[in-house]
Structure 1
């Protein structure tokens, strides 16, 4: 069973930094029902690696990446909202990406894929909503992590298309620390001989030409920064592996935290296309609201017009620090929106929105309950 649906983008689909895609498509999933007035649509834009499968459904009962947040009676109540989650353009989870076949050559794009920006991700999502679903104005736009940056791009490039906004653990521009981490992740992939200049075997078996080591290191770096030092200390301290669990090689894993990171990496390596990872990672570094405000982030944010907004940040987030959430709240408020700002103390760091479901449910569910939207199909 598969709940995934596809929307064909206009052909050609122009890209912000030049070039265009032909015959491109975007994957998405939906929950709930669009009411007769078409005013209860809620769009979710994701982080770098998730698919559009944010929650289970009759067509796909497997748990989604935000399962605890979406569904009947949950914070994002599908009895009330028509929920849409779009897989980012450039992601290999169903949307056109570097691993897709270029119709001009009959071969995968690989590094011939046009330079990707989060504005392109936003434009593709807007095409799904407007042209694919017939929704002119979203009741609410929710953006998480990288998806929050894409959401800001969506509202900047499509004025008047969003009534309310929920900004979750994101930023108006990448700070040097986040850029540095993503640069190291990309370098780990590029320096792996298996990457082969982007021409690795897309379907390589274990041991084939594929950047397994590079993707593993990139994932480990990501996981380290997604959580906080507080949580690493609390979960693992300096606990060592049992002797039989240790690697029989020089400098092998000795601590439990090393084994934990290795397990995360092994589960991720062959589930995400390396070139797609590179393109989306760089797009995150490139995004900058200040481009829309004459070099000022605040002036850029003031160009966004929504009625209400909820901005959530976490004090332990080192990738998207709390002051960046405060910056978003200040900018949207200066633009005339009624803004609620929530600062959480979750120890889980950037990943808190995926883990601390009770606190995020309380904030997001409360905000959505205060919005005046259709109660369901009619």
Structure 2
């Protein structure tokens, strides 16, 4: 299998919002389609906490991407028309510089010596890629999903006029107490695992080595529970019990099918994402607050964003980023002068609906992108 991943070297030093700077840092990204001569058909996608830049398959990497059904020729984000770029977040471990990367000053992984990370830093790294790396003066559209939606708001606030349109997907202008509480428990599960050892586990992970597998497993299970809705959990699993041969002999072992599902999901994740990167990005999500751009008022902060068009999508069953927060984004962008479409999706899948309910999200995003194309026909 090929590798479509490319890299953009960030300016060195790269200053961080909360102090410190990175030297020799980079972000990983992938592209689909072709940038036209006018350089006005670029679409930049910012991701949630854990995805890589591999949002869709390509000739260089034919493996399915995390938004495979959404991106490609003739798909809602049509790569015959748009030049699509997906960037891996600064602070991640999917090719971009983060806590698991080598610190050039020491020759060892940064670990907890990595500077405090904010979503403003994630946004500025993505802006550097688009503006300085790819020479795109103004994006046709900036798309942000989940945590990436918050990063997108930071991008628009810090770089006025950098995008003509924006698609906000299942996100929020600030973390609410429930989301903060869940992420706090996830971080605590990792930190309390003795194998975490203040960030000094084996990097890279190796069989039999020191690694906070139990903490990462609990953190992932907590996340998965909140990514879906109670309605979907009931519909998929009800109170189905495991067959006797699939039950643990241990006291208080797994008895229900939903427990086995969570365990299997966690096992696929625990060693595929670096624990320190998880901690840094999780905390950055809690810290982000649009109100900081509006003298303590979220609406005033959102009103500062200057766009021509915006599409704001949310799911009524999303408990992590409740629908009223998407409404708040739509109202704020509208107050700033944008023409805004707000759609509340009737999706039972909760926060992760944008990844799985393509039957609803696809047409909404496709129709919005088609209206942009009518105003901005690539050459």
- The TM-score normalised by the length of structure 2 is 0.99
Measured after TM superposition, the shift of residue 206 of structure 1 is 3.6
Are the equivalent residues in 2 in contact too, given 1:35–1:374 (CA < 8 A)? Answer: no
> In terms of mean alpha carbon deviation, does 363-372 or 316-325 score higher?
363-372
1:45-60 maps to which residues of 2 (within 5 A)? 45-60=46-61
Give the equivalent residue in structure 2 for 1:105.
106
Measured after TM superposition, the shift of residue 294 of structure 1 is 0.2
Give the equivalent residue in structure 1 for 2:171.
170
Q: Give distance in 1, aligned partners of 2:193 and 2:272.
A: 17
Q: Give distance in 2, aligned partners of 1:209 and 1:129.
A: 38
Measured after TM superposition, the shift of residue 358 of structure 1 is 1.2
1:106-121 maps to which residues of 2 (within 5 A)? 106-121=107-122
Measured after TM superposition, the shift of residue 176 of structure 1 is 0.2
Measured after TM superposition, the shift of residue 345 of structure 1 is 1.3
Q: Give distance in 2, aligned partners of 1:89 and 1:350.
A: 23
Q: Give distance in 2, aligned partners of 1:123 and 1:35.
A: 24
1:320-339 maps to which residues of 2 (within 5 A)? 320-339=321-340
1:38-187 maps to which residues of 2 (within 5 A)? 38-187=39-188
Are the equivalent residues in 2 in contact too, given 1:79–1:375 (CA < 8 A)? Answer: no
Q: Give distance in 2, aligned partners of 1:341 and 1:19.
A: 39
Give the equivalent residue in structure 2 for 1:366.
367
Q: Give distance in 2, aligned partners of 1:258 and 1:308.
A: 43
Give the equivalent residue in structure 1 for 2:232.
231
Give the equivalent residue in structure 1 for 2:309.
308
Per-residue deviation, residues 94-128 of structure 1 (Å, max 9, x unmatched): 00000101011111100000000000000000000
Q: Give distance in 2, aligned partners of 1:374 and 1:42.
A: 12
> In terms of mean alpha carbon deviation, does 248-257 or 278-287 score higher?
248-257
Q: Give distance in 2, aligned partners of 1:137 and 1:373.
A: 15
Give the equivalent residue in structure 2 for 1:280.
281
Q: Give distance in 1, aligned partners of 2:244 and 2:375.
A: 59
Measured after TM superposition, the shift of residue 31 of structure 1 is 0.1
Q: Give distance in 2, aligned partners of 1:80 and 1:89.
A: 28
Per-residue deviation, residues 316-335 of structure 1 (Å, max 9, x unmatched): 00000000000000000000
Q: Give distance in 1, aligned partners of 2:5 and 2:377.
A: 25
Are the equivalent residues in 1 in contact too, given 2:205–2:271 (CA < 8 A)? Answer: no
Q: Give distance in 1, aligned partners of 2:209 and 2:56.
A: 34
Measured after TM superposition, the shift of residue 207 of structure 1 is 3.5
Give the equivalent residue in structure 2 for 1:18.
19
Change (3 A) 1:157 1:16: same
Q: Give distance in 2, aligned partners of 1:107 and 1:72.
A: 43
Change (3 A) 1:333 1:374: closer
Give the equivalent residue in structure 1 for 2:353.
352
Measured after TM superposition, the shift of residue 204 of structure 1 is 3.5
Q: Give distance in 2, aligned partners of 1:204 and 1:127.
A: 31
- 3-state DSSP of counterpart to 1:341: strand
Are the equivalent residues in 2 in contact too, given 1:139–1:373 (CA < 8 A)? Answer: no
Q: Which runs of 4+ in 1 moved over 6 A?
A: none
Are the equivalent residues in 2 in contact too, given 1:81–1:375 (CA < 8 A)? Answer: no
Q: Give distance in 2, aligned partners of 1:288 and 1:211.
A: 30
Tell me the number of residue pairs that the alignment of Structure 1 and Structure 2 aligns: 377
Q: Give distance in 1, aligned partners of 2:250 and 2:204.
A: 30
Q: Give distance in 2, aligned partners of 1:307 and 1:204.
A: 46
Which runs of 5 or more residues in structure 1 are unaligned?
none
Per-residue deviation, residues 135-187 of structure 1 (Å, max 9, x unmatched): 00000000000000000000000000000000000000000000000000000
Q: Give distance in 1, aligned partners of 2:239 and 2:203.
A: 39
Give the equivalent residue in structure 1 for 2:193.
192
Measured after TM superposition, the shift of residue 248 of structure 1 is 1.5
Instruction: Please give the root-mean-square deviation of Cα atoms over the aligned residues, in Å.
Output: 0.8
Measured after TM superposition, the shift of residue 373 of structure 1 is 5.2
Are the equivalent residues in 2 in contact too, given 1:315–1:321 (CA < 8 A)? Answer: yes
Measured after TM superposition, the shift of residue 205 of structure 1 is 2.9
Are the equivalent residues in 1 in contact too, given 2:199–2:276 (CA < 8 A)? Answer: yes
Are the equivalent residues in 1 in contact too, given 2:10–2:125 (CA < 8 A)? Answer: yes
Give the equivalent residue in structure 2 for 1:204.
205
1:37 aligns with 2:38: yes
Q: Give distance in 2, aligned partners of 1:34 and 1:283.
A: 32
Q: Give distance in 1, aligned partners of 2:29 and 2:87.
A: 4
